[in-house]
Structure 1
Amino acid sequence: MGESATVVITGASSGIGRATARLYADDGARLVLAGRDAGTLEAVAAECRDRGARVVAVPTDVSSEADVDRLAETAVEHFGGIDVWVGNASLYSFGTFEQTPSEVFDRLVEVNLLGQVYGARAALRVFRRQGRGVLVSVASVYSRITSPLVSPYVTSKFGLLGFLEVLRMELRDAPDIHVCAVLPATIDTPIHQHAANYTGRPVRPLPPVADPVRVARAIVRVSRRPRRLTQVGRVQSLFVYARALAPAVYEPVVARVYVALALKGGSMPEASGNVFRADREATGVTGGWRVLPWLRRGPGRRGR
């Protein structure tokens, strides 16, 4: 992949997506950026243009296949094709399965899993015509481990990794089309401020919290030298092996540790975060958790 590659990035408005857009912009890529809020997305686009990139911003809800198809078509219309498709859009929620409203559970699966499926379908149509392309899907360490209070997220990410593995097998007839999965652990992004919260208490991310630029670098790296799976965050990735080797021990220990570390003291009203509408307040690359991780107010500040 050369420096003038055309790169589509979903979930580009904040966090990992925004960090990835910056890195590609610095390399002179042609960017097609997608996110739900047009104003926030245009701010990211302007930032990338200032770094020398050619950029098109396309407001997109990845749970709509029509929106995703339009995103791909826009990339082809403006730049003639797509070299890399980065599927990054994701939603998060806290609460037990029984606490989590069914519409919130369904929405996370629609965005985190079906949004990636729609992106893969749209990208592959272009890749097949070109005879080449790289699909990079941002999954999660939660594609391989579990913990309480995040059942819709875990469900969507487990499903995503399985989908990518099947897709890779089915593309053996196309050696120049690559499918890459990037699995971040806990990353310092605004996703925790954006998250829905039905626990009744303030929530914080599990330590250690990694820099989102590490994930962005991994995305850029695998788009140039494709790898089937890349994990980011070594400490939490160790839980993958613990779960595989001793599941009977893993489950009760992680259940206790997660609740102890994730739930803060005090109370918090139920809130749907950015699940149903974009949050314009927390759109930076980081969420500030690495600065004062134990003092930050938990997610779920407002109602729907």
Structure 2
Amino acid sequence: MASSSPHPPTAPAVLVTGASSGVGLATAHELARRGHRLALLARGEEPLQRAAQECRALGAEDVTVLTVDIRDDEALREAVAQVLDVFGRLDGAVNCAGVVAYGRLEQLAAPLFDAVVETNLLGSVNLLRHVLPPLRAQGRGSVVLTGSLIGHIAVPTMSAYTVSKYGVRALARQAVIENRDVPGLHVSYVTLPGVDTPIYRQAAYAGGPAGQPPPVVWPPEKAGRLVADVLQRPRRVAHGGAFDPLIRLGFVLLPGVYDAWVGPLFARFASDRRETMPPGPGNVEASVWQGNRLDGGHGSGLKALGGLAVRRVRRIVG
């Protein structure tokens, strides 16, 4: 663990997991702009150090880094203890650590399926297990678990991710119930739409077209702002994505229609058939730090929607 020079304990101290890439990095940047003291946690040392430098430049009062795999419960326990030792207290925690695997359930190797669930769901459990006791002891604090629209619906070839994100949603609700006796302690759940991050190219694949975020895609900075806002102004559930409520409603109220359409729509908008991904573990079982960055270069997806609309109009008019 490395920390910048000590500062008086004036700014809130926040632990951010998955802080070296994507939404975690965007959240760390946003909290840095707000002058927080930050403990950045992820698996890769080099991208974490780069993230720490960026956060210091953006205005973070103090930054420390922790090279830890969130699946390792004992290592995470030690990391939280070190944060408390360095900062003197912990005011909040954000869990953005996450991995993805693509493949039909029977195609995806058991270790890859298990690693997705262990990272996304059991990693969230591990975080709560170790940050809740100090927050309860001080009688206040805020924890944000990041979820996904896919934690409310079902999509083809993403069974491990879907199961894990359903579990995160249930975990957040359970944590709210179990901590009602501490009014100053808040556990929030943020569900995000498609976000332009590197997670799609870093995913594990059983083989097939590359994944991509479905339109309309949020830039990571927008996701980071939402997560930071909920951390500072807690609410039980915060949903992102203008079309997500409609999708969730269709999944619940019109399951037959949803099931018939989700496959073709997923193949059209959530898959990049210009690129075929060979079977491989991606970054699911271990960090592949070279691919860590803020965005994934996917854009908003509006161009794809516009192109589809133009083609449909041309067919109609002849």
Shift of 1:268: 3.2
Residues 1:166 and 2:174 aligned together: yes
Residues 1:25 and 2:27 aligned together: no
Other-structure match for 1:48: 55
Shift of 1:202: 3.1
Map residues 103-252 of structure 1 onto 2, 5 A cutoff: 103-252=111-260
Unmatched 5+ stretches in structure 1: 296-304
Shift of 1:238: 2.0
Specify the code of the residue in structure 1 equivalent to 2:23: I
Specify the code of the residue in structure 1 equivalent to 2:154: T
Other-structure match for 1:37: 44
What secondary structure does 2:26 align onto?
A: helix
User: Which of 283-292 and 205-214 deviates more?
Assistant: 283-292
Residues 1:97 and 2:95 aligned together: no
Shift of 1:294: 8.3
Shift of 1:146: 1.1
Contact 1:204 1:294 survives alignment (8 Å): no
Post-superposition CA distance 1:118-152 (Å, at most 9, x none) = 10111101101111111100111111111111000
Identical positions, percent: 33
- Cα distance change, pair 223–268 in 1 and its aligned pair in 2 (3 A): closer
Residues paired across the two proteins, number? 294
Map residues 240-279 of structure 1 onto 2, 5 A cutoff: 240-263=248-271, 264-265=273-274, 267-279=276-288
Give the whole-Å Cα distance in 1 for the aligned partners of 2:234 and 2:122. 23
Give the whole-Å Cα distance in 2 for the aligned partners of 1:115 and 1:257. 31
Shift of 1:27: 1.2
Post-superposition CA distance 1:57-76 (Å, at most 9, x none) = 00010001012111211110
Shift of 1:292: 8.2
Other-structure match for 1:302: none
What secondary structure does 2:41 align onto?
A: strand
Contact 2:216 2:301 survives alignment (8 Å): no
Shift of 1:265: 4.5
Give the whole-Å Cα distance in 2 for the aligned partners of 1:152 and 1:13. 23
Give the whole-Å Cα distance in 2 for the aligned partners of 1:55 and 1:214. 22
Unmatched 5+ stretches in structure 2: 1-8, 305-318
Shift of 1:260: 3.4
The structure with the greater share of residues assigned to strand is: 2
Shift of 1:199: 3.3
Contact 2:179 2:185 survives alignment (8 Å): yes
Other-structure match for 2:289: 280
Contact 1:214 1:232 survives alignment (8 Å): no
Contact 1:133 1:178 survives alignment (8 Å): yes
Shift of 1:168: 0.6
- Cα distance change, pair 291–240 in 1 and its aligned pair in 2 (3 A): closer
Shift of 1:155: 0.2
Give the whole-Å Cα distance in 2 for the aligned partners of 1:143 and 1:258. 16
From 15, 23, 26, the counterpart of 1:16: 23
Shift of 1:259: 2.4
Shift of 1:208: 1.9
Post-superposition CA distance 1:225-258 (Å, at most 9, x none) = 1111111111234211111211122112112221
User: Which of 212-221 and 259-268 deviates more?
Assistant: 259-268
Post-superposition CA distance 1:78-101 (Å, at most 9, x none) = 111111110110000111111111
Higher Cα radius of gyration: 2
Other-structure match for 1:301: none
